[in-house]
Amino acid sequence: MNIVDRFLKYVSFCTTSDENTGMTPSTPGQMEFAEFLVDELKSIGLQEVSLDANGYIMATLPANCEGKPVLGFIAHMDTAPDASGKNVQPRIVKAFDGKDITLGEGIVLETAKYPEILNYRGQDIIVTNGKTLLGADDKAGIAEIVTAMEYLIQHPEIKHGKVRIGFTPDEEIGQGADHFDVKAFGCDWAYTMDGGAVGELEFENFNAAACKIHVHGVNVHPGSAYHKMQNSMRIAYQLAVMLPRWETPEHTEGYEGFYHLIGMNGTVEETTLSYIIRDHDRARFESRKRELEHLVRKVNREYGEGTAEIELRDQYYNMREKIEPVMHIIDLAEEAMKAVGITPVVKPIRGGTDGARLSFEGLPCPNIFAGGENFHSRYEYLPIPSMEKAKDVILQIIQKVK
């Protein structure tokens, strides 16, 4: 199967993750997709193919020469809860002409809003129908890894060491490394194929935490509510607007951190605010968490102890400190990119990958582009040559490692 057909098959599986289920994988579609992948990996000739009860896949391409390190390549099976991943209907735009693309009725991928797409003029591009995300994050990464493994199996004359591949559930909700068995994976180092545009190479990322603030109110008939009612939604709004207005994703870039309100659900009696907190600098990251705790205390001083309660959970940390001692693995990736005509773009991740947590668990794991753009959005797209290039980079890394 070629890489495009493989990707189009993968996005037919609905694998949206959900942080509220308390299960791993968090949604049944991920296990359904995992079972399909296991059958595929066996059919192309990989060995030691395994799927555990939590939905983690591992497999081996045995070495055909001696003396090389064991490499790993990792991608995740889930798609983000930010947009629907059900009934994805991809379409290939042939030889993109640089004009706006109509995805569906009244839904247009405008080049003025997304000018990066003009970099792919003349290329075939996979887009959505405007109703769902596409799923290039990270099914493109899976397709690239599987296709590279199949190529090596079909070309035994290419000498390589042992290669391990791993596919994880629930990366998009910060749980992709929760049950990843680094010891069983058995690699000297690995790469996640989970970046964006062609050429991206990343070894530093946000420190990340998730936060829920529960606000408790008192509901009384509005006709007799004077000095009795406490509307939890109004209190929650008051708390939300106390955060710095400009420290949000839409107003920050580069190394700038943010508070991101990702959910607000409430009634007069009970409201929950859900945040993610991000910063590349560890000290500023810790300060952001303290600020949220301070605001909760402030609300409780005004409305009474217990009015607001906070839950904070660290998700991952900046992998840079774990990668810097082994920078040869970055040099290798850069060399591989240049070998296939790509200019490496080394940049910080304004997000995270499974590799961030795995790096802290003893598996150095920088991130390489998967090729898509506008992830987590109905405007997501995937230039086909970018996906091909990512596969070629994997092959070059495997051949060049010493």
**Average of pLDDT values for 319-339?**
96
pLDDT of residue 335: 97
pTM: 0.86
- What burial class does residue 94 get, using C-beta atoms within 10 Å of its C-beta: 0-12 exposed, 13-18 middle, 19+ buried? exposed
The three-point CA angle 192-10-388 to 5° equals: 55
Question: Is the confidence at residue 174, as pLDDT, over 90?
Answer: no
Percent of the chain with pLDDT over 90: 94
Mean pLDDT of the chain: 96
Instruction: List, in order of start, the domains of the chain with CATH numbers.
Output: 3-205+318-400 (3.40.630.10), 212-316 (3.30.70.360)
Which listed residue (144, 150, 171, 373) is catalytic?
171
Read off the pLDDT of each residue in 2-10 and give the average, rounded to a whole number: 98
pLDDT digits (tens, 9 = 90+) for 107-129: 999 999 999 999 999 999 999 99
pLDDT band at 21 (very low <50, low <70, confident <90, very high): very high
pLDDT tens digits, one per residue of 268-323: 999 999 999 999 999 999 999 999 999 999 999 999 999 999 999 998 899 998 99
Is residue 281 among the annotated active site residues?
A: no
78 has catalytic annotation: yes
What pLDDT, on the 0 to 100 scale, is given for residue 358? 95
Q: Residue 82 pLDDT more than 90?
A: no
C-alpha atoms less than 13 angstroms from C-alpha of 253 in its C-beta half-sphere: 0
Quick one: pLDDT band at residue 138, thresholds 50, 70, 90?
A: very high
**Per-residue model confidence (pLDDT) at position 64:** 95
At 221, the pLDDT band (50, 70, 90 cuts) reads very high
Residue 2 has pLDDT above 90, yes or no: yes
Specify the range with the lowest mean pLDDT, choosing from 202-206, 298-302, 348-352: 348-352
Contacts of range 104-112, beta carbons closer than 8 Å, 24 or more positions apart? 104/129, 104/130, 104/131, 105/130, 107/131, 107/378, 109/379, 109/381
pLDDT at residue 219 above 90? yes
Confidence of residue 352 (pLDDT cuts 50, 70, 90): confident
DSSP 255-318: T--EEEEEEEEE-SSEEEEEEEEEESSHHHHHHHHHHHHHHHHHHHHHH-TTSEEEEEEEEE--
Q: Which of 398, 231, 271 is nearest to 329 (CA)?
A: 398
pLDDT band at 349 (very low <50, low <70, confident <90, very high): confident
Q: What average pLDDT does range 213-236 have in this prediction?
A: 95
Q: Which of 78, 172, 354, 380 is catalytic?
A: 78
Residue 174 and residue 4: Cα distance in Å, rounded? Answer: 28
Q: Which residues of 220-231 are buried (b: 16+ CB within 10 A; e: fewer)?
A: eeeeeeeeebbb
Cα(380)–Cα(133) distance, integer angstroms: 6
Three-state DSSP at 19 gives coil
Q: What is the mean pLDDT of residues 82-106?
A: 95
Taking residues 322-347, what's their average pLDDT? 96
- Is it the case that residue 202 has pLDDT exceeding 90? yes
Residue 17 confidence (pLDDT) above 90:
yes
| Confidence at residue 353, expressed as pLDDT on a 0 to 100 scale | 83
